[in-house]
Amino acid sequence: MSGPRELVGEAIDQRAFWTAIGTRPLGATIVTAQGPEGPTGFLGLSFAHVSADPPVVLVSIGHKTGALAAIRTAEAFAVCVLPAGSEATARAFGGAISGADRFAPHEWGSLVTGSPILASSAAVFDCRLRSIVEEEQAVIAIGRVVGLRIAPDRGATLAYGGGYRDL
């Protein structure tokens, strides 16, 4: 096993950055919206709470992510926390399958905003879009939680080291 590497300035490339991010276990989520062309979504590994009172969350979305336009148009999105055993779903929404085909093999519904929600989710945060912050090659979408579903007994799928593990 090699020792730690230290990188500074221009030496911090995308590969090194993602390797460093991959050392932190992250709960795998699917971020969805109901767009004019139908349901859309992506694997959301940058999801966090902003406030509990009122309940507000944020997600980071790449400028090239297809779901971004739907989120802007619908002014809404949902974050589905993937339960244990959801590696195939995480990979599908991470790019292994494209378009609405990712929604076909699963049971989907909705809560308040009409954004698709995975019925088996460990938790769902259904949000009305409050603001978007433009930053580099991504936007940060901030949403007010208007619907919540909780099923903590389902465990979680974690992204770690370029793969997935169940908790």
What pLDDT does residue 152 have? Answer: 86
Given this model, what pLDDT does residue 24 score? Answer: 82
Q: How many residues does the chain have?
A: 167
For residue 69, being part of any structural domain is answered with yes
CA atoms within 13 A on the CB side of 149: 21
What is the model's pTM? 0.90
Q: Does a structural domain hold residue 161?
A: no
Query: At 55, which CATH number?
Result: 2.30.110.10
Q: Whose CA is closest to 92, among 14, 7, 32? A: 32
Per-residue pLDDT of the chain (167 residues; tens, 9 = 90+): 567 888 788 888 888 887 887 788 889 999 999 999 899 999 998 999 999 999 999 999 999 998 999 999 999 999 999 999 999 999 999 988 777 778 865 689 999 999 999 999 999 999 999 999 998 889 999 999 999 999 989 999 999 988 999 99
The amino acid occupying position 57 is: V
Q: How many domains does the chain have?
A: 1
Q: Quote the pLDDT of residue 1.
A: 52
Domain range for 104 is 27-154
Q: For residue 91, tell me if it sits in a domain.
A: yes
